Amino acid sequence: MLIALSTGDASRHRRWNLIEVASPGDQGDTLRPRIILIWVADIYRHRGVGAALVQAIVDDFGGHVADVSWSAPISSPGRRLARRLSSKGIWIS
Protein backbone atom coordinates (compact mmCIF):
# COMPACT_ATOMS: atom_id res chain seq x y z
CA MET A 1 0.00 0.00 0.00
CA LEU A 2 1.39 3.41 -0.90
CA ILE A 3 0.69 5.95 1.82
CA ALA A 4 2.62 8.95 3.11
CA LEU A 5 1.93 10.78 6.37
CA SER A 6 3.84 13.68 7.85
CA THR A 7 2.81 15.29 11.14
CA GLY A 8 4.08 17.63 13.80
CA ASP A 9 2.79 20.01 16.45
CA ALA A 10 2.00 23.68 15.88
CA SER A 11 0.79 26.48 18.13
CA ARG A 12 -0.20 29.20 15.62
CA HIS A 13 -3.42 28.62 13.72
CA ARG A 14 -6.28 30.29 11.88
CA ARG A 15 -9.81 28.94 11.73
CA TRP A 16 -11.11 28.18 8.22
CA ASN A 17 -14.68 27.23 7.33
CA LEU A 18 -13.40 25.47 4.16
CA ILE A 19 -15.40 27.85 1.96
CA GLU A 20 -14.14 31.40 2.40
CA VAL A 21 -10.67 32.73 3.11
CA ALA A 22 -9.62 32.28 6.73
CA SER A 23 -10.33 35.32 8.87
CA PRO A 24 -7.16 36.90 10.32
CA GLY A 25 -9.08 37.72 13.53
CA ASP A 26 -10.03 34.10 14.15
CA GLN A 27 -6.71 32.79 15.44
CA GLY A 28 -5.52 30.43 18.14
CA ASP A 29 -2.28 29.59 19.91
CA THR A 30 -3.20 26.24 21.46
CA LEU A 31 -0.71 23.45 20.77
CA ARG A 32 -2.39 21.13 18.25
CA PRO A 33 -1.35 18.11 16.23
CA ARG A 34 -0.61 19.29 12.70
CA ILE A 35 -1.12 17.36 9.49
CA ILE A 36 1.64 18.41 7.13
CA LEU A 37 0.94 15.82 4.43
CA ILE A 38 -1.38 12.90 3.82
CA TRP A 39 -0.93 11.09 0.54
CA VAL A 40 -2.76 7.93 -0.45
CA ALA A 41 -2.25 6.16 -3.80
CA ASP A 42 -5.20 6.58 -6.17
CA ILE A 43 -6.10 2.89 -6.04
CA TYR A 44 -6.61 3.15 -2.24
CA ARG A 45 -8.54 6.43 -2.19
CA HIS A 46 -12.22 6.53 -1.17
CA ARG A 47 -11.69 3.55 1.16
CA GLY A 48 -11.32 5.47 4.42
CA VAL A 49 -7.51 5.34 4.53
CA GLY A 50 -7.06 9.12 4.87
CA ALA A 51 -9.78 9.30 7.53
CA ALA A 52 -8.12 6.44 9.43
CA LEU A 53 -4.78 8.29 9.36
CA VAL A 54 -6.39 11.46 10.73
CA GLN A 55 -8.16 9.43 13.42
CA ALA A 56 -4.84 7.81 14.40
CA ILE A 57 -3.34 11.28 14.89
CA VAL A 58 -6.36 12.30 16.98
CA ASP A 59 -6.18 9.12 19.07
CA ASP A 60 -2.48 9.70 19.74
CA PHE A 61 -3.10 13.33 20.69
CA GLY A 62 -6.13 12.55 22.83
CA GLY A 63 -8.51 15.08 21.31
CA HIS A 64 -11.05 15.39 18.53
CA VAL A 65 -10.75 15.72 14.76
CA ALA A 66 -11.79 19.38 15.11
CA ASP A 67 -8.64 19.94 17.25
CA VAL A 68 -6.26 19.03 14.42
CA SER A 69 -4.47 21.77 12.48
CA TRP A 70 -3.94 21.24 8.75
CA SER A 71 -0.88 22.64 6.99
CA ALA A 72 -1.67 25.12 4.21
CA PRO A 73 -1.98 25.01 1.28
CA ILE A 74 -4.53 22.21 1.26
CA SER A 75 -5.15 20.32 -1.98
CA SER A 76 -8.65 19.72 -3.37
CA PRO A 77 -8.65 16.09 -2.14
CA GLY A 78 -7.39 17.33 1.23
CA ARG A 79 -10.25 19.85 1.46
CA ARG A 80 -12.76 17.12 0.64
CA LEU A 81 -11.31 14.93 3.40
CA ALA A 82 -11.27 17.82 5.89
CA ARG A 83 -14.86 18.77 5.00
CA ARG A 84 -16.01 15.18 5.49
CA LEU A 85 -14.26 14.85 8.87
CA SER A 86 -14.88 18.36 10.25
CA SER A 87 -17.83 19.94 8.45
CA LYS A 88 -17.84 23.08 10.64
CA GLY A 89 -14.32 24.01 9.60
CA ILE A 90 -10.70 23.32 10.46
CA TRP A 91 -7.66 24.97 11.95
CA ILE A 92 -4.90 25.73 9.46
CA SER A 93 -1.26 26.50 10.16
What is the model's pLDDT at position 55? 95
The confidence score (pLDDT) of residue 22 equals 57
Can you tell me the distance from the alpha carbon of 71 to that of 79, in angstroms, rounded to the nearest whole number?
Answer: 11
Which tens digit of pLDDT belongs to each residue from 12-55?
888 888 877 655 557 778 888 999 999 999 899 999 999 999 99
pTM comes to 0.83
Residue 30: its pLDDT value, please? 83
Alpha carbons 50 and 78: distance in angstroms, whole number = 9
Q: CA–CA separation, 68 vs 58, rounded Å? A: 7
